Structure 1
Amino acid sequence: MNTPEALDRVYQAFSTQKKPRTISACPCCIDQAHVCTLLSTPLRKITPAQLSSYASSVFLTAGSEPDFRYFLPRILEISIHDRGWWPDREIVLRSLALAGWKSWHKGEREVLQSLFDSAFNDVISCEEDQEYEIDSWICGLALAGVDVAPFLQKLEAHAATEALIGFFELNAADLPKKRLGNAFWSDNKEAAAQVVEWFESSAIQSIVWRHYGST
């Protein structure tokens, strides 16, 4: 399944979530005019700029689980396609954990997992900012409470060697200190330790040494 198809399935799965009548928010973060714009604009047509404040504030100074579920498909769509969008992808995916998504209906969890798989596959096959994209996804998924082991395994595949090396180089300076470069890892040190251990495994070290030995 490709990413557009996976996104459509997410929209469909959450289509029963009613549009909220209002959004509870700190007026310093989201004023009433902004709320009106969000609620009067068709979901798929909400712009990145319009949704930025809500997505970066939800569960902190704005929003609740019902309105988050309503906006979630559009939030994920923008986060996947607009790398420069604020909030960072790590913040977006962390919001899923704050929403308690692991307790949602099985079908909803499954379509989200399928979207993560498809989007990550796209990142592995795309050369532009590949190492930063991989780093963002691995960290963000960990913050969402997703098991990152299957995603790390994708990087071990022969066709993904360059992606793995880029991810390694992005973290190489921090690995001797048993940590990773992305500051968001401080929110899930257990998962960070898992990734550090993966980098230190004989399989990954072998791939790294073969790469540098052939250059």
Structure 2
Amino acid sequence: MREAVERLYTVFARHRLAARIDGCPHCVTDEDQHLLRRSPLRELGEADLSRFVAKAITTWGNVDDLRHFLPRILDLALPGGGVIEIDTVAAKLDLARWWEWPMDERDAVRACFAALWRRTLEREPEERPAVLLLDTLATAFDDLAPFLDAWTARLHRWADHHPAVRQFADTAGTIVATSPTLRHPQVVVWLLTLLPHLELLFKEIEEVDLGLAEALLDTHDQLVLLRGTISLR
């Protein structure tokens, strides 16, 4: 992930700090403005940037202002657990229409989210649920195929990726239980296309990790139920 963040700093260095960042006079104070300038970009903390992130593009600053601060914002947000949340950053990127930015900038943004996704699939659901990150990704990305393909590859190599299997079981269970028709349809279709593979996966994992195999069997049954109760176009 560090490499992806460093790439952001390099690519977005072309966006200099504006002489003035316009903001709503009723909600952006002189002190707020000062916080953005009191330290070099890489040294700004969450306390300096959190208010800007919340108001960026809507009531404070424009797209170019966001692009100037974006490397540090993602640097702080990607590890998780802080004040600046990645779902807020994704929403701001969507407002900024980041998919229309120059190719190298788009590639740098994608690389950061891809690194975050890989790290999430290596963690247990209790630590960072993949299902929640999928909702975040759906805010900023129209096509989730690269993320889902990376997950599929780990399921096929399950022996080296037990957390990815548990994340899959957790995600399927959560989606079945919480209005699947409101989820990104690409995710729901992907879950259902893996049904045949789950039967084979169960037989392989049963000999190694009975608890994980039983969770996978539950997942299979939940997806069968899902397939019978919704209509996907």
Corresponding position: 1:152 with 2:161: no
Find the aligned partners of 1:95 and 1:171 in 2 and give their Cα distance: 25
Query: CA 1:28 to 1:49, structure 2 compared with 1: closer, same or farther past 3 Å?
Result: farther
1:33-79 alpha-carbon deviations (Å, 9 max, x no partner): 11112123211111112211110111221110111010000111111
Within-5 A mapping of 1:2-151 = 3-86=1-84, 88-127=85-124, 129-132=126-129, 134-151=130-147
Find the aligned partners of 2:49 and 2:34 in 1 and give their Cα distance: 12
Partners of 1:29 and 1:53 within 8 A in 2:
no
What amino acid does structure 2 have at the position aligned with 1:197?
Answer: V
Q: Which residue of 2 aligns with 1:162?
A: 166
Deviation at 1:171, TM superposition (A): 2.4
- Give the counterpart of 2:178 among 174, 178, 195: 174
1:91 partner SS: helix
Query: CA 1:93 to 1:205, structure 2 compared with 1: closer, same or farther past 3 Å?
Result: farther
1:139-165 alpha-carbon deviations (Å, 9 max, x no partner): 222211342122122222222211211
2:60 partner SS: coil
Aligned-residue sequence identity (percent) comes to 26
1:87-121 alpha-carbon deviations (Å, 9 max, x no partner): x3222112112112112111111121112211211
Deviation at 1:82, TM superposition (A): 3.1
Partners of 1:155 and 1:163 within 8 A in 2:
no
Query: CA 1:205 to 1:41, structure 2 compared with 1: closer, same or farther past 3 Å?
Result: farther
Find the aligned partners of 1:128 and 1:195 in 2 and give their Cα distance: 17
With structure 2 as the length reference, what TM-score do the two structures score? 0.75
Which structure is larger by alpha-carbon Rg, 1 or 2? 2
Find the aligned partners of 1:129 and 1:85 in 2 and give their Cα distance: 19
Which shifted more, 163-172 or 114-123? 163-172
With structure 1 as the length reference, what TM-score do the two structures score? 0.81
Partners of 2:28 and 2:60 within 8 A in 1:
yes
Find the aligned partners of 2:142 and 2:111 in 1 and give their Cα distance: 12
Identify the structure with bigger relative contact order (alpha carbons < 8 Å, sequence gap 6+): 1
Where structure 2 has 5 or more consecutive residues not aligned to the other structure, the ranges are 156-160, 203-212, 219-233
Q: CA RMSD in A?
A: 2.4
